[in-house]
Amino acid sequence: MTERVTGVTLRAVNYKDSDRILTVFTLEKGKITVSAKGVRKANAKMKQISEPFCFAESMIAEKSGRFTVTEINSFDAFYPIRTDLYKYYSGMTALELTDVFLPDALESAGQFVLLVEFLKKLAYKSINPLNLLLKFIYDALNENGYSINLASCGRCGSLIENRVFLSVKDGCCVCEECKKQGENGFSIDTYDYLNKIQSGDLQDFNQENAKNGLKFFAYYLSKVAGVSLKCLTTLIDL
């Protein structure tokens, strides 16, 4: 049986002499594993789909629960993402996060749209890639059941000033009066920066605050989801 799917290639692993095994996040079937035959040959027609970031419509054939791609129509390979290290690792972090968050075959139109829109902006808009990634992670947490409330103190609702603490358990930031034992404080500058980002204001860029924001999310992800992202660590160390 052959089906048409629209997807983004998250990951590709070489297989045999000229094949690749792909992890593709599709709109119709969620995350699936697909083999792409002959794509490492010089003039392979379906080469594009075997590269991460490729956004394409493809025909896949199913045989005993395994998929093989037979035809592709590439919409966008988001080439400019590969021309800058910050763009590249921001993009790779988004792919890796999508890969670890979504179990196989779980449809998520919300996450799909989020990812494609993020890749478009990363490739073609002049917005700092770290700011774009912070917004993507914030939205992806929301989409996948790990939302974090940054707007005000999660316990008393008042605005947080001067000192801020993170409650991993409750998925919120809290003020000094509401802080419980074991809830660690973090920089108010980082907090203010993340708040601006989550509200959609991505224009002002500050390298130190952005990197601290990424560290904040790396810590939060490790605590709430037990997830550690290799590409995010590389990006923070750039």
**Any contact of residue 137 with Zn ion (CB under 5 A)?**
no
Q: Following DSSP, what letter does each residue of 176-236 receive, concatenated?
A: TTTPPTT--EE-HHHHHHHHHHHTT------HHHHHHHHHHHHHHHHHHT----HHHHHHH
Q: How far is the CB of 165 from Zn ion (least distance, A)?
A: 9
Token pair belonging to 143? 């989409």
- Give the helix, strand, coil percentages of the chain, each rounded to 5: 40, 25, 35
Q: How far is the CB of 181 from Zn ion (least distance, A)?
A: 15
**Any contact of residue 151 with Zn ion (CB under 5 A)?**
no
Mask for 105-134, x = binds Zn ion (CB under 5 A): ------------------------------
In 3-state terms, what secondary structure has residue 44? coil
CB of 42 or CB of 159, closer to Zn ion: 159
Q: In this chain, which of 29, 82, 121, 155 binds Zn ion, going by CB under 5 A? A: 155
Q: In this chain, which of 77, 94, 153, 221 binds Zn ion, going by CB under 5 A? A: 153
**Any contact of residue 175 with Zn ion (CB under 5 A)?**
yes
Q: How far is the CB of 151 from Zn ion (least distance, A)?
A: 12
CB of 141 or CB of 175, closer to Zn ion: 175
Q: In this chain, which of 113, 156, 188, 238 binds Zn ion, going by CB under 5 A? A: 156
**Any contact of residue 166 with Zn ion (CB under 5 A)?**
no
Neighbouring C-beta atoms of residue 235, cutoff 10 Å = 23
Q: In this chain, which of 22, 173, 178, 218 binds Zn ion, going by CB under 5 A? A: 178
Please name the residues in contact with 46: beta carbons below 8 A apart, sequence gap of 6 or more: 36, 38, 39, 58, 69, 71, 72
**Any contact of residue 13 with Zn ion (CB under 5 A)?**
no
Neighbouring C-beta atoms of residue 208, cutoff 10 Å = 11
What Cα–Cα distance (Å) separates residue 119 from each residue in 8, 37, 113, 183, 221? 10, 26, 10, 34, 21
Of 3-11, 152-160, 200-208, 211-219: span binding Zn ion (CB under 5 A): 152-160
CB of 117 or CB of 177, closer to Zn ion: 177
Residue 160 DSSP symbol: P
- The answer to whether 10 touches 95, Cβ cutoff 8 Å, is yes
**Any contact of residue 164 with Zn ion (CB under 5 A)?**
no
Say how far apart CA 166 and CA 161 lie, in whole Å. Answer: 14
Of 32-40, 137-145, 177-185, 192-200: span binding Zn ion (CB under 5 A): 177-185
By CB under 5 A, name the binding residues for Zn ion: 153, 155-156, 175, 178
